[in-house]
Amino acid sequence: MIAAEAPVAHATARLLVVRQTGEVEHHDRDELVELLSPGDLLVANDAATIPASLRGTHERTGSEVEIRLAGRPTLRADDVHRFVAIVFGAGDWRTPTEDRPPPPTLLPGDRLLLGPLRATVIGWLDHPRFVGLDFEGDAALVWAGIAAHGRPIQYAHVPQPLALWDVWTALAARPVAFEPPSAGFALRWATLSRLRARGIGFASLTHAAGISSTGDPALDARLPLDEPYCIPVRTARAVRRARRHGRRVIAVGTTVVRALEHAALATGEVRAGAGTATGRIGTATALHVVDGIVTGVHEAGTSHWELLRAFADDATLARMASELDAAGYRRHEFGDSVLLLRPLSP
């Protein structure tokens, strides 16, 4: 597999399909709608991505730092003071994250000067690069500072600086994601018209997609972090209706899987409203809601790959990986896509 270096045009994007039988097929990504069945329900994440990379100075030492905002307690627009963040020392995205120097020692009470913003370190989160931050000023000031000074998070395999619109999907609405819910790049507005024409349902939810990699194995093992979400009443109803009539629910991205499955934990049915997806979904997870996933191309060992183990056994995933590699599929945020369907129940 090849790392995608820039947003992929739909005309050249590909889709690997893993059928419920385990059979693997290669398609153009624009064929997604035709590969679904009338009555299926496609659910996507409509979160817009904020410019979550902020550069500045550690006031006590004068050292250069970059912080990558990674989470906050809720999706409320006025709840933008307390964040968790990953902190790097000097350098930028041109250096792979695993080679970036650590930040200076960050102590509770230290201030970070981040362009127009000021933030206070409120403590480590069991790792010297993973901290809690408290931003000064009212919500409008914090939002304005993030918008003016922040940059989209990106990694070394993307050589050019990303503009904010590069990390927004066609559905981008509320600005709550820290990295793009990148499976949504498979959808265009024309896709929604084609879904309706084939009798396929569509619904959305909002989930604060977090960071996908930190460059530190100990921190990466903790991903994904707890992430808030909100499921509209109409989406919860659409999911329950699809389940009641024996139709498939297809999640566009791992964030949608996390939100829907978490919302169904208490009763087995998706409830509307706000929540926080916790824990990891993997091979030991019994899925109650989602029958398939449209996802990007990811490597084994990542948190995204671990979630796919809830949909297929390791032999099927190994065969999928072999096909992706042999055919040169592009991976990461702007790469090609996979449609993975859970096996039929015995």
pLDDT of residue 8: 60
pLDDT of residue 239: 98
Separation of alpha carbons 221 and 201, rounded Å: 35
pLDDT of residue 159: 82
pLDDT of residue 155: 81
Say if CB 13 and CB 28 are below 8 A apart: yes
Pairing of strands 249-252, 292-296: parallel
Beta-bridged to residue 252, according to DSSP, are 44, 294
pLDDT of residue 3: 64
Domains defined for the chain, CATH in brackets: 2-48+161-341 (3.40.1780.10), 52-149 (2.40.10.240)
pLDDT of residue 6: 62
Separation of alpha carbons 210 and 176, rounded Å: 9
Instruction: Report which residue type is found at 158.
Output: V
Among 43, 50, 27, which residue's Cα sits nearest to residue 144? 50
pLDDT of residue 333: 82
Residues of the chain with pLDDT under 50: none
Tens digit of each residue's pLDDT (9 = 90 or more) over 35-69: 999 999 999 999 999 999 999 999 999 999 999 99
Instruction: Report which residue type is found at 145.
Output: G
Separation of alpha carbons 169 and 335, rounded Å: 13
Say if CB 298 and CB 336 are below 8 A apart: no
Tens digit of each residue's pLDDT (9 = 90 or more) over 65-95: 999 999 999 999 999 999 999 999 998 888 8
Question: What is residue 233's three-state secondary structure?
Answer: helix
Separation of alpha carbons 263 and 130, rounded Å: 28
